[in-house]
Amino acid sequence: MDTKVLSADASGIAAAAEIIRAGGLVAFPTETVYGLGADALSAEAVARVFAAKGRPRFDPIIVHVASPEEAERLWAAVPPLARELMARFWPGPLTLVLPKTPRVPEVVTAGLPTVAVRMPAHEVALELIRVSGRPIAAPSANRFGRLSPTHHEAVLAQLGGAIEAVLACGLTPVGVESTVLSLVDDPPRVLRPGGTPLEALREVIPNLRVNPPHGPSASPGTLPRHYLPATPLYLLEPGPPEDGEGVDRMRCGFLAFRDGWHGFGRVEVLSPRGDLVEAAARFFSALRALDEAGLAAIVAEPVPEEGLGVAIMDRLRRAASGRARLSERHAWPMR
């Protein structure tokens, strides 16, 4: 793919917006770092972001909006504190986490019931969002494991050939990522320190809590950072089942990569045509559908470990409590 270098003027922004609306990827400047943007309401476009970055796992992505009203359409409930923070700190490097509406695809939030939203203080970013007419999901525009880019040349060096376009705007003003604040926790909790100082937040939230900089927080009541199913999940492995306590297949859900599986209580197919981008786009909603179906167990078919298959397998392995083999009538979980 030829990555277009677009000028950060009205015609460049119009071309970039067209790409976003068509499900493509555009790197764009914000006041912090360059973001790798996709239509936040399109699961497939967002799945392509993970593919372009070469991320070996799924992480929730921040959605960028051009107004507080647009943010409110992505959240299921908006407490007065959120309105106060938006009025005071937006546009700016403050990301707010609140419960999401069903409009936001699960791949955006890596299956979490919450979505992180911010309004960047950069005219080019805001104009791109306005002209696209879509909220834009965007992690930093670097390849996995590399530095977040603060110049469009750095974006090109890492993602040239892998994305449709970059809006060329030179250096970004701040170079530090946004502060991520969860309003789902009570009292509110800073999940990641960043461009909005804690002192400024404490003027509005005196009892603000801050995640320790390293490692998971041990405090009770802290939100999970990742969605894992509550139903026991087993990765399918080839071979005949061994003796043991088999589970009736009709009480099992089956998470299939491709079509052709029968005889389970419920089957969710990730991609009938065997496409890993489509599979990644559907992964979290399919897993949640099985998790909420009242089944005794979920059996998951491994996907090829290439491209987005690496991230899917990472999540499946972390969700799995063991492996399973199948017989005509039973699934045989093996710890």
Residues that bind Mg ion (CB under 5 A): 140
Q: Is 244 left (phi over 0), alpha (psi -120 to 50) or beta?
A: left
Looking at the Cβ atoms of 144 and 261, the one nearer to Mg ion is 144
Looking at the Cβ atoms of 32 and 140, the one nearer to Mg ion is 140
114 beta partners: 99
Question: Smallest distance from the beta carbon of 139 to Mg ion, in angstroms?
Answer: 5
CA distance 236 to 323: 6
Return the percent helix, strand and coil in the chain, to nearest 5. 30, 20, 50
Residue 112's binding partner among Mg ion, ligand AMP, none (Cβ under 5 to 8 angstroms by kind) is ligand AMP
CA distance 126 to 92: 11
Residue 185's binding partner among Mg ion, ligand AMP, none (Cβ under 5 to 8 angstroms by kind) is none
The 3-state DSSP class for residue 183 equals: coil
Say if CB 140 and CB 34 are below 8 A apart. Answer: yes
Site of interaction with ligand AMP (CB under 6 A) = 59-60, 62, 97, 109, 112, 114-116, 139-140, 177, 180, 191-192
Alpha-carbon dihedral of residues 54, 47, 99, 88, nearest 10 degrees?
A: 70
Question: Smallest distance from the beta carbon of 268 to ligand AMP, in angstroms?
Answer: 23
If one counts every other C-beta atom within 10 angstroms of the C-beta of residue 267, the result is 17
Report residue 241 as tokens.
């089942």
Comparing CA positions, the residue from 163, 135, 2, 158 lying closest to residue 65 is: 135
Residue 114's binding partner among Mg ion, ligand AMP, none (Cβ under 5 to 8 angstroms by kind) is ligand AMP
Looking at the Cβ atoms of 17 and 33, the one nearer to Mg ion is 33
Say which amino acid occupies 175: G
Question: Smallest distance from the beta carbon of 35 to ligand AMP, in angstroms?
Answer: 7
Question: Smallest distance from the beta carbon of 59 to ligand AMP, in angstroms?
Answer: 6
Say if CB 257 and CB 307 are below 8 A apart. Answer: no
Residue 181's binding partner among Mg ion, ligand AMP, none (Cβ under 5 to 8 angstroms by kind) is none
Question: Smallest distance from the beta carbon of 26 to Mg ion, in angstroms?
Answer: 17
Looking at the Cβ atoms of 85 and 180, the one nearer to ligand AMP is 180
Residue 190's binding partner among ligand AMP, Mg ion, none (Cβ under 5 to 8 angstroms by kind) is none
Question: Smallest distance from the beta carbon of 177 to Mg ion, in angstroms?
Answer: 7
Question: Smallest distance from the beta carbon of 45 to ligand AMP, in angstroms?
Answer: 16
Say if CB 247 and CB 232 are below 8 A apart. Answer: no
Residue nearest to Mg ion (CB): 140
If one counts every other C-beta atom within 10 angstroms of the C-beta of residue 114, the result is 20
Residue 191's binding partner among ligand AMP, Mg ion, none (Cβ under 5 to 8 angstroms by kind) is ligand AMP
For residue 315, give the H/E element and its range.
Answer: helix 309-319
Question: Smallest distance from the beta carbon of 97 to ligand AMP, in angstroms?
Answer: 4
Say if CB 284 and CB 108 are below 8 A apart. Answer: no
- State residue 280 phi and psi, 5-degree precision: -65, -40
Looking at the Cβ atoms of 167 and 180, the one nearer to ligand AMP is 180
Looking at the Cβ atoms of 62 and 126, the one nearer to ligand AMP is 62
Looking at the Cβ atoms of 201 and 326, the one nearer to ligand AMP is 201
Looking at the Cβ atoms of 97 and 156, the one nearer to ligand AMP is 97
